[in-house]
Amino acid sequence: VTASITKTQIPSSNLMSNNSSGTNNQGGAAVGKIPRARQTQMLNPSKIDPVGINDIEENMEVTPHMNGGSVGGTVTRGDANQMGPPASRRRSNVVKEVEKLKKNREERRLRQAEIKNEKENMMNMDPGNPNWEFLSMIREYRHNLEFSPLRDTDPVEDHQITVCVRKRPMNKKETTRKEVDVITVPNKNQISVHEPKQKVDLTKYLENQHFRFDYAFDESCTNEIVYKYTARHLVQTVFDGGMATCFAYGQTGSGKTHTMGGDFNGKTQDCQKGIYAMTAKDVFRFIKSPPYRTMNLSISCSFFEIYSGKVFDLLAQKAKLRVLEDGKQQVQVVGLTERAVDSVEDVLKLIQLGNAARTSGQTSANSNSSRSHAVFQIILRQGPGRLHGKFSLIDLAGNERGADTSSADRQTRMEGAEINKSLLALKECIRALGRKGAHLPFRASKLTQVLRDSFIGEKSKTCMIAMISPGLSSCEHSLNTLRYADRVKELAAHDPMEVKMSTVAEDDVENMESESDLAQLRSLNEGEMSGDMLTFHEAISKLQEAEEDMVEYHKLVMDSNNRWLQQDKYLLDRTNQVEYDQEAYTIQLDELIMEKISMLTELRLKVGKFRNMLTEEETVSKKMTNNIYTK
C-alpha cells in the first residue's frame, strides 16, 4: 500500500482496513520508503509518539509490504473521512491536544522573553539599583500624572490653623545608597506616598497613600517660598495684638532645622536664609511702617530649649529655668533672658548663640540631630513693658525619638517619653484652638505649658510645617509625620466634638481641668496611647516632679548653710568672751541644730521619694516592654 499522510494523522487500523478491501494499484510505485521499525511505530496506535507525529511531513508516501504482496493505494483526506468516525475522532483529539500544548509552550516562552527584556530595560535605566522594580512602578505612576505644583504667584490663604508639608531633596547619603524617591507632590496641596509592599508570593507592588493639606511644597521650593505661605502672614497677627506660633515638625534629618534656622554647611549654619531671620526682617519692616511707627513698640527676643521635661535658657549659658503658674493662671518661665534688639543683625547673633548651645547628638540620620524642642520668641512690648504680641517659632525634636520609650537607658526613655507626650499634647492644643470652649490639656507637657498663651484667644494663630524625607528607608517615618499633620488639620474645620465642647458649662470645664491632662490625652488619642503608655507617662511625670522638688529644696538647704555658718561663727565667738551668757548660747545653738535637723530631714524625705519614683519608673518600663514583646 502506498499512503500519502497529511496533517490530519490517520490511525494504523484504518490503513489495515483499506488493505483488506482489495483495492489494488498495480501501477503504483513506492515514492519514499521508511524503515520497518518506523513503520511499526506509525502503524501501532499504542506506540504513537505525539511529538513524533508532528515531525511527519505532509504528503509523505509509505509503501508497506504485507504477506509478500505489493498492494498500492493512496489514502486521501476524503478516504479518511470514510474510514470510521470513532478512530478518526480519537486521532484528531490527540493532534489538537498536541498542537494546543505546543502553542501554549510557545506563548509562555514568548511572555518570558518579553518579561526578561522589560526587566533588562528597566535595570538599564538605573543599573545597580536593588529597588529597580519599585523605581519603575513609581516612574510609571508619575508618567500618568498631570503635575500642577505651587507657584510663587498663587494667592496666600489666611487660616487660624495652617498645616502644610515640605518634601526635601534627596541627600548625598540617600543618593549614594541608591534609595528610591517614594514621595510625589502632584499639586500645590496634595502629597502622595508610594509605600513598597510585597505579597506572600514575593510579588512586589506599591500602596499609594494620598494626603491633602493647605500647602504642599516639593523639593524645588526654597525657604523663601515656604516662609511666604506659612509664617509671613502671622507677623501681621502679632502687630494686631495676637499670639502666633510656627512649628517645624518631622523626623530627624527631614529638614526642620534647615527650614527654621537656615542652610547648613557642615556644622555651620547660614542664619540669613531661615524662617527665623525672614520673620525678623518683616518685624522690623512692620515696626517702621506708618500704622505702627507711633505706637511706641519695642522688640525683644528670648531663646530656650525644652529637653527631657526641663527648660534651659540658650541665651544664658543653658541656665536651668523653672516654669510656674501664677494666681491669674498665667504661666511664667522664671528667670528667662529677654534681650532687646534693634536690628535684624542683632536677632541673627542671638540665633547663632542659641543654636551653638542647643542640645544635640549624632544619629544615623543626621550628624546635627537635635534632641530638644527649641523655642525662639520675638516679643512686642508697648510702653513700659506691657505685652502687645508674641511670635513663637519652634523647631521640634525629631518625632522618631518618641519611640525610644522602651530603651534600656533611663535618660533615653525619659527623653522619648517627653517628646512623645509633648507632641500628643501639642496636637490637642492646636485642635482646641479651633474649638471655642474646648479644654486645653496644656499641663500634659512642658512644651504646651510654656506656650499656653499662644493657644488662647481669638487673635491666636498657628502654623505647622511638617517635614518629610523622600527616601524609601524613611517611608514609615514620613507616613507617621503625614498622619500626625493630617489629624491636626482634619479636626480644625470639622470636628464632631466642636458642638459638644462648646456647650460644656463652666463648672464642667473647671472639673475637667482638675483631672489629669494625661488621661484626657489618652481619651482623645485611644489609638496612639495605650493604658501601659499612660501609666508610663504618669510615672515619668511623677519622677520629674519629685526630681524638681528635691533639687529646689537642696538649693534651699545650700542657701541656708551659708546662714547657718554665720550663726555658728557668731555663737563660737561669744564663747571666747570671758563672761558670756551660757544659757542663751545653749538655747540658740539648740534652735540652730533643730532647724538644721528639720531641713535635712525634709531633704532626706524628698531624696527617698525620688528614689522610690526611680524604682517605680524602672518597674513600669519593664512591664511595658514585656507586654510589647508578648503581644
Highest-scoring range by mean pLDDT, 120-129, 143-152, 451-460, 461-470:
461-470
CATH, domain 142-529, list 3.90.1150.10, 2.40.70.10, 3.40.850.10, 3.40.50.1860: 3.40.850.10
Rounded to an integer, the average pLDDT of 530-540 is: 75
Query: 14 pLDDT exceeds 70?
Result: no
DSSP-derived secondary structure for 226-239: HHHHTTHHHHHHHH
394 pLDDT band (50/70/90 cuts)?
A: very high
Q: What pLDDT, on the 0 to 100 scale, is given for residue 364?
A: 44
Reduced 3-state DSSP string for 574-617: HHCCCCCCHHHHHHHHHHHHHHHHHHHHHHHHHHHHHHHHHHHH
pLDDT at 515: 46
- Residue 14 and residue 80 in contact, taking contact as beta carbons nearer than 8 Å: yes
According to the model, what pLDDT value does residue 302 have?
Answer: 95
Average pLDDT of the residues in 301-311 = 91
Question: What is the arithmetic mean of pLDDT over 188-194?
Answer: 91
Annotated ligand binding at 251? The verdict is: yes
**DSSP H stretches of helix in 299-371:** 344-357
The annotation status of 255 as a binding-site residue, yes or no, is yes
Considering only 84-93, 264-273, 414-423, which range has the smallest mean pLDDT?
A: 84-93
DSSP state of 343: S
Mean pLDDT of 198-217: 89
329 assigned ligand-binding residue? no
Alpha-carbon separation of residue 152 from 1, 156, 165, 215, 573 (angstroms): 93, 10, 16, 12, 80
Instruction: List, in sequence order, every residue forming a beta bridge with 269; answer none if it has no partner.
Output: 264
pLDDT at 311 over 80: yes
Residue-range domain boundaries for the chain: 3-99, 142-529, 534-630
State mean pLDDT over 448-454.
Answer: 89
Decide: helix, strand or coil at residue 372.
coil
- Per-residue model confidence (pLDDT) at position 119: 55
Strands 319-325 and 310-313, by their bridges, are: antiparallel
pLDDT single digits (tens) 23-71: 444 444 444 444 444 444 444 444 444 444 444 444 444 444 444 444 4
Q: Length of the chain in residues, anyone?
A: 631
608 annotated among ligand-binding-site residues: no
Q: Calculate mean pLDDT across residues 449-457.
A: 86
Task: Of 37, 60, 58, 61, give the one whose Cα is nearest residue 49.
Answer: 37
DSSP 8-state class, residue 298: E
Instruction: Please tell me whether 359 is known to bind a ligand.
Output: no
Q: What is the mean pLDDT of the chain?
A: 76
DSSP assignments along 306-320, one per residue: EETTEEEETTTTTEE
Known binder of ligand: residue 252?
yes
Q: Where are the beta strands (DSSP E) in 251-384?
A: 263-265, 268-270, 297-307, 310-313, 319-325, 331-334, 339-340, 373-382
